[in-house]
Amino acid sequence: MSTPIQQLFDLRGRTALVTGGSRGLGLQIAESLGEAGARILLCSRKAADLEEAAADLQAKGIDTRWVAADASDPAQVNRVVDEAMQRLGQIDILVNNAGATWGAPIEDYPLEAWDKVMNLNIRSIFLFCQAVGKASMLPRRYGRIINVASIAGLSGSLDVKFIAYGTSKGAVVNFTRTLAAEWGPQGITVNALAPGFFPSKMTRGTLQSVGVDKLAAAAPLRRIGDDDDLKGAALLFASAAGKHITGQILPVDGGVSAVHGAA
Ligand SMILES: NC(=O)c1ccc[n+]([C@@H]2O[C@H](COP(=O)([O-])OP(=O)(O)OC[C@H]3O[C@@H](n4cnc5c(N)ncnc54)[C@H](OP(=O)(O)O)[C@@H]3O)[C@@H](O)[C@H]2O)c1
């Protein structure tokens, strides 16, 4: 007996914790999961931005709460997960999206920048998965984990000098596969999105220095990402429609990685 497609993509009754959910790609993913029916808890550092993002989602009819925390601090990660369990009762979907970058040539790359990028982009994913796994997913034998990697985790980059970022995203790719192998038998899927270029606060500088036209020209679809382009892929990984998919890395990049590696 097959299940109707609307039911496979329906997230009513599910809850999602989205890190870095106050703007950019995290907010887009939160909107997608919320529009499909999930209750949402956003987490990032700045309370004012979270309040604004939550109000935007609420205005669209999405049940949204938020908690301010630094995802690279282990004590704060545990606090977020405790609060999420209190306020949502369970965490069905974990979106590890919070991330940062730092641009500098390797020979001048500050150690503090390396640590900052690595602590947020990969160590915090480990911390969130461990805490959410223990608190909710492993006991319930159910979970959907979506890590936000990047096409910069799939190859080197010609135009951008960001050694820690590329390294951290490569780590996210194989963290995803490794965790998928370990937690698959527990009913938990673990997948990653690998976005190409999307306009956001993080990419503003690169988009200005390299140019939207040049980045778009590198893509078979001749475009960069927009406010809709991650929604379908995120929902697939988060929902019953994706229940037989785990350990996969999905580039959402206009085809850049199919022809060039990262731009
Ligand atoms: N935009 C792109 O083209 C692109 C491409 C590939 C991959 N990505 C990835 O997509 C993810 C989101 O990027 P974005 O472009 O949407 O960037 P963004 O606009 O800068 O958003 C980053 C989000 O993470 C939060 N954040 C930053 N540091 C944090 C910390 N220490 N603890 C908790 N939250 C923190 C920010 O809020 P606060 O500053 O208030 O904490 C914000 O909500 C990142 O993992 C990025 O690497 C982006």
**Ligand 1 atom with least separation from CA of 70:** 32
Instruction: Show the tokens assigned to 193.
Output: 């999105």
Token duo for residue 8: 């496979």
Please tell me the predicted confidence (pLDDT) of residue 142: 98
**Residue having the nearest C-alpha atom to atom 31 of ligand 1:** 70
Which protein residue has the closest C-alpha to ligand 1 atom 12? 25
Q: Examine residue 147 and state whether it is found in any structural domain, yes or no.
A: yes
Q: Is residue 261 a part of any domain in this protein? A: no
Q: Look at residues 185, 94, 77 and name the one whose alpha carbon lies nearest to residue 136.
A: 94
Can 165 be counted among the known catalytic residues? yes
- Tokens for 220? 């078979």
pLDDT at 263: 44
CA of 6 to the centre of ligand 1 (A): 30
* Residue of 66, 165, 175, 197 with catalytic role: 165
Ligand 1 nearest-atom number relative to CA 21: 43
Alpha-carbon separation of residue 83 from 69, 88, 127, 141, 209 (angstroms): 11, 8, 15, 21, 41
Q: Which CATH number do you get for residue 67?
A: 3.40.50.720
Domain contains 262 = no
The structural domain count of the chain equals 1
Per-residue confidence in pLDDT tens, the chain, 263 aa: 999 999 999 999 999 999 999 999 999 999 999 999 999 999 999 999 999 999 999 999 999 999 999 999 999 999 999 999 999 999 999 999 999 999 999 999 999 999 999 999 999 999 999 999 999 999 999 999 999 999 999 999 887 899 999 999 999 999 999 999 999 999 999 999 999 999 999 999 888 988 999 999 999 999 999 999 999 999 999 999 999 999 999 999 999 999 975 44
Ligand 1 neighbours, Cβ below 6 Å, are 19-20, 22-26, 44-46, 49, 70-72, 97-100, 120, 148, 150, 195, 197-198, 200-203
- Structure tokens belonging to residue 172: 């996210």
**Nearest CA, atom 1, ligand 1:** 198
Question: Whose C-alpha lies nearest to ligand 1, atom 45?
Answer: 99
Q: Tell me the C-alpha distance between 21 and 157, whole Å.
A: 26
**Is 98 a domain residue?**
yes
Is 179 a member of any domain?
A: yes
Residue numbers of the domain that contains 190: 5-255
Predicted local confidence at residue 261, as pLDDT: 53
263: in domain: no
- pTM of this prediction? 0.98
Atom of ligand 1 nearest to the CA of 23: 43
CA of residue 25 to ligand 1 center, whole Å: 7
User: What does residue 191 show for φ and ψ, rounded to 5 degrees?
Assistant: -135, 165
Query: Is there a domain that residue 220 lies in?
Result: yes
The answer to whether position 260 is within a domain reads: no
Contact 33, 57 (CB under 8 A): no
Q: List the residue whose alpha carbon is closest to atom 8 of ligand 1.
A: 150
